[in-house]
Amino acid sequence: MFTEEEINTLCLEAEVSMNTPPTSESDTAAVLLNTVMLMLPLMLAACRRGKCIAITMNPVAIAVSGWNWGGAPFLKPLIDEAIELAVTLDCLTTHSFDQGVPGRFYACHAERQQFMHWLVTNNIVANRNLEVGKVFECQTSIKVCDNCKCFLRSAADHYKVQVVLN
């Protein structure tokens, strides 16, 4: 992955400010386009390393599979929270790659990390009495595994939200 200094340099060169909110619809489109263009080399580097990339547009976020954080602009993995939710949903599955932490392998999948981020961003984790119509929509660079599909179906039912993948 890139160092924080390299990412900051890319941001400056692309004239992208990740912390400045857009002031109009055209600003939003421009910031989104610049952000995607900035992140494209980072996403390609992750794909070349065999990682899954998961992207959401509301909010705009990019997750990379793995339990080690690749640094900004990628989401910081919420592995423990994903495992805890899998236990709550009674769908924790172990894998030979868990490295001593049951459920760790599946919890680090990019689409699951996006979902955990989406729950937190939308204040859904602690609140099951939601307004109707919340939709989690995620695109992935590779096919979503059956374990993640099962997890996301269970979570959608648990939180009364809709999940849309690829």
Q: Does 38 fall in a domain? A: no
Q: What angle do CA 65, 17, 118 make, to 5 degrees?
A: 40
pLDDT band at 55 (very low <50, low <70, confident <90, very high): confident
Q: Which two tokens stand for residue 68?
A: 């080690």
Q: Name the residue range of residue 157's domain.
A: 51-165
1 domain residue, yes or no: no
Per the CB < 8 A criterion, the answer to whether 158 and 89 are in contact is yes
Asked whether residue 57 is assigned to any structural domain, the reply reads yes
pLDDT confidence band for 29 (50 / 70 / 90): low
Q: How far apart are CA 154 and CA 145, in angstroms?
A: 14
- pLDDT mean across residues, the chain: 78
Q: Is 138 a member of any domain?
A: yes
Residue 139 lies in a domain: yes
- Average pLDDT for 147-155: 95
Confidence at residue 2, expressed as pLDDT on a 0 to 100 scale: 47
pLDDT tens-digit map of 104-129: 999 999 999 999 999 988 888 555 65
What per-residue confidence (pLDDT) applies to 15? 45
B/e letters for 90-126, b = 16+ CB within 10 Å, e = fewer, are ebbeeeeebeeeebbbbbbbbbbbbbbbbbeebebbe
> Is 112 among the domain residues?
yes
Percent of the chain with pLDDT strictly greater than 90: 37
Number of domain units in the chain = 1
154 pLDDT higher than 50? yes
**142 DSSP assignment:** S
- 146 vs 128: CA distance, rounded Å: 25
Question: Would you say the C-alpha torsion 96, 100, 102, 104 has a positive or negative sign?
Answer: negative
pLDDT of residue 1: 44
The answer to whether 86 and 151 have CB atoms below 8 angstroms apart is yes
Closest CA to 37 of 10, 64, 9: 10
For residue 7, tell me if it sits in a domain: no
Answer yes or no: is 11 within a domain: no
